[in-house]
Amino acid sequence: MPAAAAPAHPRDVLLDAQASAARLPVCDHYSGVEARMRKSLQLQQEMSEEFGHCVFDVTLDCEDGAPVGQERQHAELVATLACEAAPGARVAARVHTVDHPAFGQDVDVIAGRAGERLCHIMIPKVESVQDVLRAASALDAAGARHLPLHALIESPAAVQQAFEIAAHPRIQSLSFGLMDFVSAHGGAIPASGMGSQGQFEHPLVVRAKLEIASACHAHGKVPAHCVVTEFNDAAALQAAAGRAAAQFGYTRMWSIHPAQIRPILAAFAPEAGEVQRAGRIIAAAQAADWAPISDGGVLHDRASYRYFWQVLERAHQTGQGLPAVAQPWFAQAATIAP
């Protein structure tokens, strides 16, 4: 008799093509000074060895990192660092805005030289889908047609266009740029709206965050929450990251200091009991060939299976321990998209 076929992998059964975007790491760490960029890449390698896979992206920053007049030199440095990164590293670059004189040069140098080593390109101050089209065309011309784009939404007008921007097939993630968003209101939002607490209370800021998150979820893209600038206040960071994840629908967050990375991982991680429950339910579903099951007197079907599989993926992404039954699923295939 022929050997029985191996059970279908939960990811293949439960997730569609759009859902693959949700497998980005939950932390995106930014640095633009050479010494800090090198330290960030080293820390990424060390934590990858600790957890067995890459748990955060490193984005090398040209927009805020390049000294005025030395944009080309900085772009060349970014390309060199990306090419020198360890195998399996997830390295991205934030280039200048599409209307900046250095934008085309950034793309030519970084994507042209290091495109195969990059996981994405971040475009700041995206105002409309036309900016996305311009960036995608530049990447294509540089031979980096494969590279996804991340867009930074930083103005009221851009928030209004968030759904159209998120719908573009080249877009993988939208980030919220809090500081520029507040300053774009000409003083109508007080400085407290940029703080770790006030940004979750001012109605205009809250509305912008929800619009961006909703646009991303509508189109299977990843919403990335803004930084917490009080980087010496671990409690403020933890609280902000927890609210972004639990109340605002964000599945990813920026870090601007190495000390912020582990708290972000912890804030976006599911609770241990939820992880154990997810492993039990997915294993029972697989054994039942994905027909409905009862767990503790509660009915579950493919809708809840999808949710609990995503709990397991998030646990893996954030370096949490997995139940024994779930470990083979993650040993067979990586959960973070290339």
Mean local confidence (pLDDT), 196-224 = 96
Residue 172 pLDDT exceeds 80: yes
According to CATH, what is the number of the domain 27-268?
3.20.20.60
157 touches 127 (CB < 8 A): yes
Residue 285 pLDDT exceeds 70: yes
Residue ranges covered by each domain of the chain? 27-268, 271-332
- pLDDT tens digits, residue range 156-171? 999 999 999 999 999 9
* Stated length of the chain: 338
93 touches 60 (CB < 8 A): yes
- pLDDT tens digits, residue range 22-58? 579 999 999 999 999 999 999 999 999 999 999 999 9
Q: Name the pLDDT band for 21 (thresholds 50, 70, 90).
A: very low
Q: Which of 236, 237, 246 is nearest to 274 (CA)?
A: 246
Q: How many CB atoms lie within 10 A of CB 245?
A: 21
Which pLDDT score, from 0 to 100, does residue 246 have? 94
- pLDDT tens digits, residue range 92-133? 999 999 999 999 999 999 999 999 999 999 999 999 999 999
Residue 214 pLDDT exceeds 60: yes
Q: How many helices (H) and strands (E) does the chain have?
A: 15, 10
Exposed / middle / buried, residue 100 (Cβ in 10 Å: 0-12, 13-18, 19+): middle
Helix or strand run (H / E) with residue 253? strand 252-255
Which pLDDT score, from 0 to 100, does residue 72 have? 97
User: Taking the mean position of all CA atoms in its chain, how far away is CA 43?
Assistant: 18
